[in-house]
Amino acid sequence: MIIIPAIDIKKGKCVRLLQGRMDKETVFSEDPAAIAQRWEKEGAEIIHIVDLDGAVQKHPENLDSIKKILETIKIPVQAGGGIRDERTIKMYLDLGVAKVIIGTEAIKNPKMVKEACKAFPGRIIVGIDARNGLVAIEGWTRTTGVKAVELAKEFENSGVAAINFTDIHRDGMQTGPNIEETRLLAEAVSIPVVASGGVSTIEDIKNLLPLQEAGVTGVIAGRSLYTGTLSLEKAVKLLKKRN
């Protein structure tokens, strides 16, 4: 299991939201690239980037900031937010993004996602964001009637590199990850799962470790790293010892 620092970008700034609400933001930096450098220096193996404006507007909105991050660090970047077609996927990959995250289209156009998995092997991540077990889309502004586990099963054997699973109610709240929902989803598919939402302390990381057996290969951390309740360096050391 690895820890993956998150950089959420809104209007060119590094922010964190509470439960995905665009009106509940905290700005942590005017320079997302400087934050990426910091996480790289502290031992991150990959950076998770979300274009928040892109997720709502349905197309990339913060490309300049993402390009600057790519130019600034040497470790891989995975990026999502507003990726709705294969052309945008290719654009991101051509920029140097290692993996792209597709959320809304996994519900709206699963065929496109599966075709992208074939066109770009090992480079497509499906983002499943759930509210009370049901998938939310369009930058979390709309909740569907589709269960997270059922959506995950849709992509079994399609070549998806990983599933990023976020519990929206816990995102940014630092209340601890949803262990049971994450376990249920990971056990339902053979695709590697990355947990997200609610990670607050090193204890939360320790509580996720048993889920490695179910196929949880990583954990995304955001607000806790920015507020200092979780040390990236300590988390990296812990996970390297346990791997």
Instruction: Sketch the domain layout of the chain as residue ranges.
Output: 2-242
DSSP for 114-183, please give it: HHHHHHSTT-EEEEEEEETTEEEETTTTEEEEEEHHHHHHHTTTTT--EEEEEEGGGTTT-S---HHHHH
**Known active-site residue 94:** no
Per-residue pLDDT reduced to its tens digit, 80-117: 999 999 999 999 999 999 999 999 899 999 999 999 99
Q: Is the pLDDT of residue 173 over 60?
A: no
* CATH (residue range 2-242): 3.20.20.70
Q: Is the pLDDT of residue 46 over 70?
A: yes
Set 8, 51, 53, 204: catalytic member: 8
**Known active-site residue 8:** yes
- Yes or no: say if 225 and 14 are a contact pair by the CB < 8 Å rule: no
Work out whether strand 13-18 and strand 21-29 pair parallel, antiparallel, or are unpaired.
antiparallel
Set 53, 129, 167, 171: catalytic member: 129
Global pTM value: 0.93
